[in-house]
C-alpha cells in the first residue's frame, strides 16, 4: 500500500496529476467537436504551428503561454482566413500556415543551441515537471472552454451537424467556427507542456472517438469524452511514475488501450443486435 501511495507524497507528482486530469478532460471536451466536424487534421496542424510560437517566445524571453498563445491565435485566424478561399481549401491552408510555423521553430532551435533540452520537453511533454502555475493555466482554459460550450451549446451543435441549415436559421457559422478554432488553439497551448506537440492531437481525438463508440447521444458523448480524457490523464501519469515512462506517451497509450476495448465491445454489440432483432421478428 505504501508503494501505491508513495508518489502522492511529492508536490511535483500532485501537480502533474492535477494538470494531467484537467488537460485530459479539456482535450476530451474540445475533441468532441473536432472529431464530429472532421477537424482532426486541424488539431494536429495547430499543435505544430504553436510549437513555432513556443520556440520564438523562449528565444525572445517572453512568457511561454503568452508567446505560444498569441502565436496560436494568429495561426487560427490565418487558417480560418485562408480556408475561406475556395481555390485553396482548409487542408492546404493548414499545411501552409502550420508547416511554415513549425519550420521557423526548427530554424530557431538550430540557431539557439541552448534550447535542446526544452525542445525535447515541448515535443514529448513533461507533465511531472509542471508547476502550480501550469495547473492554474490549464484550469483557467478548461473553465473558459466549458463556458463557451455551455453558452454557445446550440450554435456549436447546429453548426457541427448542419452548417447550411444553421446559417439559414440565423446562426453565424463563420463566427462560431472561428470561436471553436480559438478555443482549440488555447487548449493546445495550455496542454503543450503536458502532452508535447507530437501527442496533443491523439489526446484530442481518442477520447471522443471512444465516447462515440459507446453512445449515439451527443450530450452523453460530451460527458463520456471528458471522463475518459480525465481518467486517461490520471492512469497514464500514475503508471508513468512507477514504470518510468514518458508521461505523455503513457497517457496516450492508456487512451489507446481503452479505445481497443471500446471498439471490441462496440463490434460485439453490433453482432448481437441483428440476432436479437431476428429473434423478435420470429
Q: What is the mean pLDDT of residues 175-188?
A: 89
Structural domains of the chain, ranges and CATH numbers in brackets: 2-267 (1.10.3470.10)
- Torsion angle in degrees (nearest 10) through CA of 114, 116, 122, 124: -160
The model's pTM: 0.86
Q: For residue 40, what pLDDT is reported?
A: 77
Convert the pLDDT of each residue in 38-91 to its tens digit.
Answer: 877 777 788 888 888 888 887 888 887 888 888 888 887 777 676 666 666 666
CA distance 131 to 116: 21
CA distance 186 to 190: 6
Amino acid at each position: 500500500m505504501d508503494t501505491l501511495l508513495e508518489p502522492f507524497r511529492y508536490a511535483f507528482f500532485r501537480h502533474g496529476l492535477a494538470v494531467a486530469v484537467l488537460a485530459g478532460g479539456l482535450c476530451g471536451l474540445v475533441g468532441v467537436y473536432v472529431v464530429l466536424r472532421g477537424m482532426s487534421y486541424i488539431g494536429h496542424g495547430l499543435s505544430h504551428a504553436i510549437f513555432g510560437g513556443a520556440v520564438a517566445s523562449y528565444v525572445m524571453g517572453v512568457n511561454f503561454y503568452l508567446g505560444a498563445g498569441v502565436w496560436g491565435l494568429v495561426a487560427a485566424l490565418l487558417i480560418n482566413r485562408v480556408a475561406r478561399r475556395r481555390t485553396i481549401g482548409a487542408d492546404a491552408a493548414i499545411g501552409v500556415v502550420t508547416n511554415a510555423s513549425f519550420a521557423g521553430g526548427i530554424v530557431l532551435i538550430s540557431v539557439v543551441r541552448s534550447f535542446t533540452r526544452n525542445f525535447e520537453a515541448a515535443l514529448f511533454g513533461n507533465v511531472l515537471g509542471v508547476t502550480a502555475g501550469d495547473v492554474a493555466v490549464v484550469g483557467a482554459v478548461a473553465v473558459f472552454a466549458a463556458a463557451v460550450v455551455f453558452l454557445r451549446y446550440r450554435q456549436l451543435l447546429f453548426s457541427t451537424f448542419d452548417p447550411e441549415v444553421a446559417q439559414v436559421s440565423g446562426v453565424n457559422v463563420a463566427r462560431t467556427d472561428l470561436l471553436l478554432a480559438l478555443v482549440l488553439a488555447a487548449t493546445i497551448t495550455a496542454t503543450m507542456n503536458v502532452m508535447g506537440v507530437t501527442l496533443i492531437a491523439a489526446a484530442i481525438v481518442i477520447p471522443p472517438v471512444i465516447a462515440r463508440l459507446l453512445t449515439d447521444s451527443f450530450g452523453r458523448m460530451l460527458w463520456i469524452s471528458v471522463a475518459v480524457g480525465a481518467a486517461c490523464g490520471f492512469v497514464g501519469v500514475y503508471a508513468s511514475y512507477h514504470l518510468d515512462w514518458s508521461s505523455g506517451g503513457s497517457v496516450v497509450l492508456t487512451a489507446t488501450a481503452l479505445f481497443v476495448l471500446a471498439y471490441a465491445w462496440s463490434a460485439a454489440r453490433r453482432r448481437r443486435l441483428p440476432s436479437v432483432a431476428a429473434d423478435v421478428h420470429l
